[in-house]
Structure 1
Amino acid sequence: MYTSSIQKNILAELNHELTQTRRILERVPFEQADYKPHPKSMSLWQLATHVVNLLAFKTLFVTHDSRDFLDPNAPKPGPTPTSMGELLARFDEYSATLKQELQQSDDEKLSHNFKLHRGEHVVFDYPKATAIRIMGLNHSIHHRGQLTVYLRMLDIPVPGLYGPSADEK
């Protein structure tokens, strides 16, 4: 159903993408955590963890007005998960927190700016809704796509995300 609410549209898109992302994460083989398709690539486990940790970053866009990468007191994700169970538990926890914060927000709050910076260098300064879409959803989808390539290279069946995959035909 179409709604003119920015907040409700973001929540609907987020719910869809979280479901699809979890399906990919469930297939990540922990026993191949160190796999890298190229020396410059993140390892499979680093990439999977990054996808999960981006959820906490998206929550910052909703709950704060800025984030300085140089601030040693800024919130950070927990330690690297050491099992699939820990990774999926963190995904579920961070997903629930993000959805809750978005549900408690509204279009007016999402129109306020969020500034991401490194000291004096401004990475971006966007309305929160835009930051969620660009650096949140789009960024996560990009890395989830990388995960599907890793899975394919490891000959692990890839689930369809927006229709059937070659493995589901």
Structure 2
Amino acid sequence: MYQTIESFVSEYEHERTLTLNLLTALTDASLSKEVAPGYRTLGSLAWHLVPSGGILSPTGLRFETTAEQNAPASASEIALAYEKTSQSLIDAVKKQWTDAALQESATIYGQEWTKGFTLAVFLKHEIHHRGQLTILMRQAGLPVSGVYGPTKEEWAAMGMDSPG
């Protein structure tokens, strides 16, 4: 749970950079890759990472989102939409809320959550789906950048064996 606006903004700016690194590695051809029939494609999963309001709407936070429900066929369009809406979210939190507002509650999924807790769940949700994205990217043969540590390829580039 976040106690200050700055703590959320600082962490989200870092995580958003990691997400953007992955989104910019996508190709238009890779967007149709799916792990199995009936599951999200790489494109729909990437599009799901674009902030849309969702869990944050009940808190009253208003920021610029995309009107599109379905993933575009362009990987660069997805990355640009993520970059734009995530920055809008940061700007909105800074302008619309105070540190004290993070202690205010809203009803989310039938439960009372503070705004600070809701921001934490929002960010964990992104991180969760970003992990799924890396698996689909590997299956699609795309380069995957390290998120919380080097990838196998990054270890090799450093002249080292990956630890596992």
Indicate the TM-score class for this superposition, using the shorter chain for normalisation.
Answer: 0.7 to 0.9
1:69 match: none
Alignment correspondent of 1:97: 88
Distance 1:59 1:45, change over 3 A: same
Specify the SS of the correspondent of 1:29: coil
Shift of the 60–85 alpha-carbon distance from structure 1 to 2, 3 Å rule, reads: same
After the TM superposition, which residues 1-169 of structure 1 pair with which residues of structure 2 at under 5 Å, given as runs? 6-54=4-52, 56-57=53-54, 60=57, 63-64=60-61, 77-79=66-68, 80=70, 81-104=72-95, 105-117=97-109, 122=110, 124-134=111-121, 136-169=122-155
What residue in structure 2 maps to residue 72 of structure 1?
A: none
- Percent identity for Structure 1 against Structure 2: 25
TM-score normalised per structure 2: 0.80
Using structure 1 for the length normalisation, give the TM-score: 0.78
Task: Tell me if structure 1 keeps the 8 A contact 2:3–2:116.
Answer: no
AA at the equivalent of 2:11:
E
- Partners of 2:88 and 2:59 lie apart in 1 by 11
* Higher fraction of strand: 1
Query: Is the contact between residue 32 and residue 44 of structure 1 (CA under 8 Å) also seen in structure 2?
Result: yes
After TM superposition, where is structure 1 displaced by more than 6 Å over at least 4 residues in a row?
A: none
Distance 1:159 1:21, change over 3 A: same
Contact 1:61 1:131 in 2 (8 A): no
CA RMSD of aligned residues (A): 2.4
Alignment size in residue pairs: 150
